Amino acid sequence: MPYNNIILTIYGEIIYNYKRNNKIISGICIAIGIYLIYIGIYYNVVSHINLGVVGIFIGLMILSFVPSNLIDIKLYDDSIHYYGEFFEKFIQNNNLNGNAIYIPPYTNLPNGGVFILNEEHFKIHLGNFDEETYKITSGNHSGILITPFPYYKFIKSIEEFSNTSFKSSDLNTTISILSSTLKSQGLIDTIDYDGYDEYDNNEVSNNNNNNNTITITVEDIKLKSCLDLDKKTAGIACPIISSILCSVALTANQLILLEDIKKEGNFVIITVKKMGTIDEYIW
């Protein structure tokens, strides 16, 4: 579609020239992204929604790639705040009352995705998911699919920088790499976790429920806008929390249910549950 090619060309030029004025260019990307998502939802055009998501992520990533001592934290915070506000209204308008599920890459979704339920009880059939469908229905229930993973390119850049594949790593390695990378960018102090860590992930579903719960603790998130978002919005719009959740899904190679995000003093505590492998939900 020529229109899509034009937008992609614009994004390409933006990425190529971002160092000249990263603040202005980041803002342009985010503005274009929000506009495209709005048009895509209004006219039910999935390609516009996907392009809009790409634009927003490029805008936020441009700030992420700047050396930590040059990052304008307030500007970064403001960008996430506006994106968070938009996404919060999107969740409310679509009556998405259930929790978010993070889906690792598989044949239908090669770059993974996040599925937000309209209620807690929803039978997931991953065989019905694909990159061109953003609203998934099952009987009288429905949910919204976001693909690729939020900040997927940012996660891939961390993997390339550390010469590590999260999909073939253990959880301890993944959390350590995320912690050191985000700290080097001045975005957090530390990340720690408590939970079952089994390198052979296919065996996890045979263990008891306690082994399927992971608690991740992030100390001193510098982006204050992340602390103001509700848990569903933070799991998508906050680059720190979203990157952690998507990376855990990659490492576990399982569907990950976001159960809770809460603040305790200087810490943000994220609780997730491993739901099972792709094969268990394909039909």
Nearest to 226 by CA among 120, 115, 151: 151
pLDDT digits (tens, 9 = 90+) for 123-156: 788 988 888 877 777 666 678 888 888 778 788 8
CA atoms of 185 and 6, how far apart (whole Å) = 32
Largest Cα–Cα distance of the chain, in whole Å?
53
31-47 as b/e: b if 16+ CB within 10 A: ebbbebbeebbeeebbe
User: Domain ranges in the chain?
Assistant: 2-93, 100-146, 152-281
Q: Which residue has the higher pLDDT, 98 or 44?
A: 98
Provide DSSP, 47-86: HHHHHHHHHHHHHHHHHHHS-GGG--HHHHHHHHHHHHHH
- Angle (CA) 74-80-81 rounded to 5° is 85
Residue where the block lists tokens 């001193």: 220
Q: Are 78 and 225 in contact (CB under 8 A)?
A: yes
Per-residue HEC secondary structure of 94-139 comes to CCCCCCEEEECCCCCCCCCEEEEECCCCCCCCHHHCCCCCCEEEEC
pTM for this model (two decimals): 0.73
CATH number of 152-281: 3.30.1380
39: three-class secondary structure by DSSP:
helix
pLDDT, tens digit, 9 for 90 and up, residues 38-93: 777 766 666 667 667 767 766 666 555 544 444 556 666 766 777 677 777 777 77
